[in-house]
Structure 1
């Protein structure tokens, strides 16, 4: 089941969200963090970076639930500038490593796209590490490659820089 979290739902899910982010980074996800990465750092991200934006209405957060637990999440961040009322960013598509390959990422993205359309957004933009398998998921959902920036992000495990691919999708 997929839900869009309100503040109360977010507060109820923050422990699971903390676990998901921590597990994904430990598994090598390039989502802005590098190792070592603690549960406390993961919790702080949700509480200090995400919660205020949710309070302010600056983003939507979706959660994939199964048997009372959140196993995946994604964020829709509508562009705030007056010249971009048609655009939104996709951020932090995360599925717990133990729950992957079950369609949760795809289902989360479909819910995100439906919400973007409801908000009148016609262009989605995201970035992903060029070697990340999620790139194939995004392409299967109709995202196109806009370009690649070399040496954009640090590898979560090693002190080496990697390219990032920017992608976009026009919504009907």
Structure 2
């Protein structure tokens, strides 16, 4: 089940969100963090970055549940500048490593795209490490490659720079 998470239910989800982020970084997801990365680091991200966004209503947070709790999450961040009110960013698509290959990421992205349409956003943009498996998911969902920037991000496991692919999707 996919649902939008709001500020009032954030605290109840915090432990699951922390576990997912921690697990994703430790399995090589390129989502802005590198090792060493502790549970406290993961919790701090949610509390210092996402909670304020929920309070300000500057982002939408979606979560996927199964019988054991939250297994995935993604964020929609509508651009706030006056000349970009048609656009939104896709951020931090995370699926618990134990729940992958079950359609969780696709379901989260479908909910995010629906919400972007409701907000009258006609362009979604994202970036992903070029070698990350999520790139294929995005392409199968209609995202197009805008370009690739070499040496854009650091590999989460070692001190090696890798290219990042920037993608976009037009919404009707």
Q: What interval of TM-score do these two structures reach, taking the shorter chain for normalisation?
A: over 0.9
Distance 2:114 2:9 in 1: 20
CA RMSD of aligned residues (A): 0.6
Equivalent residue, structure 2, for 1:154? 154
TM-score, normalised with respect to structure 2: 0.99
Equivalent residue, structure 2, for 1:77? 77
Cα offset for 1:165?
0.1
Please give the secondary structure, in 2, of the residue aligned with 1:83: helix
5 Å-filtered alignment, 1:11-160, equals 11-160=11-160
Please give the secondary structure, in 1, of the residue aligned with 2:83: coil
Gaps of at least 5 residues in structure 1 are none
Structure 1: which 4+ aligned runs deviate by more than 4 Å?
Answer: none
Distance 1:156 1:37 in 2: 9
Give CA deviations for 1:135-166 in whole Å, capped at 9, x if unaligned.
00000000000000000000000101000000
Give CA deviations for 1:73-132 in whole Å, capped at 9, x if unaligned.
000000000000100000000000000000000000000000000000000000000000
Distance 2:68 2:97 in 1: 17
Give CA deviations for 1:1-46 in whole Å, capped at 9, x if unaligned.
0000011222211110000000000000000000010000000000
Greater CA drift, 62-71 or 154-163: 62-71
Cα offset for 1:68?
4.8
Q: Alignment length, in residue pairs? A: 172
